[in-house]
A and B are shown apart, each in its own frame.
Chain A
């Protein structure tokens, strides 16, 4: 393991201190051990609180997306480990401004269990109304007929943006929840990895892959993908990823969608742009239009080299919300 760290057990805590110190106008730390990141300043009364949570190791997901027009608070666990029920409850309490709270996060067993528990506790103890919408956009994590088992990956970023904007417009919990579910349903992602990542506390790579190999469909924690073979040219990879996405949800002529070509951590922007040119042509050849493409590092897996591709299908409502102002340390929409 070769990383810039002190004590592997303080990796997350020191990271959070640094992130908040660098952007005090955006983030503040709260909760026991500082494992909840909330927006700087106070909550706007009557605004629905949007919270997320999950393990560390995916910046900007999750904590990075706390900010105006995005999340209100986020509970963060150790690298690839779920936050505790109490941390999740704390995030919800901080985000609550009288109009209820939406929990918006990825479909991972521990997160689901703890977040549901936190919601029940707060409902019983403080009468805080809350709802849940899970992202399950990774098409290679389960076949369509078992869609409820799919994991949430970079589609989360679209959900944070669109739903955050809806909450900012002071829409009700019911409305925000509907928009969140519709956004989750309209996202599809697929990933491909070239190298593994290393969890600081474990100190070794999460899996082994040969120097000349790649894996298609790999999960963001190194969950096994759909095939492993020799590394292919970028265009072949881009075509296969598009094929897999449109096999799951067809692109029709006239569709409007945002496309994200996302680095899993170590892949440079240059390589993402090489892939993007293929994606753009494919989408436009089908008669569809790309709105606000996102090419960069939006949802990572430590220093894994590789890429994920997400399609977020838009309607008029989602497109307007997508373009509404938002601001965090990692992403600005003006």
Chain B
């Protein structure tokens, strides 16, 4: 059983890892979008560090604060989409102080559905949703899957989509150019997972 203190313990390493990935994410994004994905992630994670001590014991309210860390610092759509996922999970966990790892599959599912609805993207269009969905499916079929294996699933998804065109967002205007490039949103999701210490 995990309490919010588990999340608080993760944040410094997570922030550090995102700081060191910022340049890579900005670069990937610059090839397809406006080149600020790394900035979005860094600003969000710095804000998470700011509020780390104030996170309430209630998982719902704690996840809401995490969502707000991204909406406060970022006007970019990735920040809003990420916050949407966190918020969907927050609603599920409102009033609960404990979280079991068996809940992850279900929580990722509601996050995925909310993100899909908000961003109007479908699976297969080469977005963060594809990576999230692969991870979610893995957890659903094998709830005991460890974090490292999950990161591997995300990596496989990145590779699987590398030679497909982006079909939504700014990149859809020049789909051909996106072939051969990793989706920045998927890579950012992978970096997020890598920032969590495996237990």
A residues near B (Cβ < 8 Å) are: 77, 81-86, 89, 109-110, 113-114, 116-118, 120-121, 124-125
Contact = CB atoms under 8 A, between A and B. Distances in A.
A89 B68 CA distance: 11
Contact of A117 (B60, B83, B91, B120): B83
Contacts of A77: 75
B75 A117 contact: no
Given A85-B83, A113-B118, A121 B68 contact: yes
B113 to A, nearest CB: 14
Nearest to B81: A113
Given A113-B77, A117-B118, A124-B94, A85 B71 contact: yes
Given A85-B80, A117-B80, A117-B84, A124 B90 contact: yes
Interface of B: 60, 64, 67-68, 71-72, 74-75, 77, 80-81, 83-84, 87, 90-91, 94, 118-120
Given A85-B83, A121-B87, A124-B91, A113 B119 contact: yes
B73 to A, nearest CB: 9
B67 A121 contact: yes
Interface majority SS on A: helix, strand, loop or mixed? Answer: helix
B38 to A, nearest CB: 18
Contacts of B67: 121
5 contacts: A84-B74, A109-B120, A116-B118, A117-B84, A124-B94
Contact of B75 (A81, A89, A118): A81
Q: Which 7 A-B pairs have the closest CB atoms?
A: A85-B71, A84-B75, A86-B72, A113-B80, A113-B118, A86-B71, A117-B80
Nearest to B87: A120
Given A109-B120, A113-B81, A121-B71, 13 more contacts: A84-B72, A86-B72, A110-B77, A113-B77, A113-B118, A114-B71, A116-B118, A117-B84, A117-B118, A121-B68, A121-B87, A124-B87, A124-B91
B87 A117 contact: yes
B84 to A, nearest CB: 6
Interface majority SS on B: helix, strand, loop or mixed? Answer: helix
A201 B60 CA distance: 39
Contacts of A125: 64
A194 B160 CA distance: 47
Contacts of B83: 85, 117
Contacts of A81: 75
Nearest to A110: B77
Nearest to B67: A121
Question: Which among A77, A82, A85, A109 has the greatest number of chain B C-beta atoms within 10 A?
Answer: A85
Nearest to A123: B91
Nearest to A120: B87
Given A109-B120, A113-B119, A82 B75 contact: yes
Given A85-B83, A86-B72, A116-B118, A121 B77 contact: no
A109 B81 CA distance: 12
Contacts of B64: 121, 124-125
Contacts of A120: 87, 91
A220 B8 CA distance: 46
Contacts of A84: 71-72, 74-75
A124 B77 CA distance: 21
A83 B72 CA distance: 11
A82 B74 CA distance: 11
A90 to B, nearest CB: 11
A136 to B, nearest CB: 15
Contacts of A85: 71-72, 80, 83
Contacts of B75: 77, 81-84, 114
Question: Which among A117, A118, A124 has the greatest number of chain B C-beta atoms within 10 A?
Answer: A117
A117 B118 CA distance: 9
Nearest to A77: B75
Question: Which among B67, B71, B77, B84 has the greatest number of chain A C-beta atoms within 10 A?
Answer: B71
B54 to A, nearest CB: 14
A34 to B, nearest CB: 16
Nearest to B120: A109
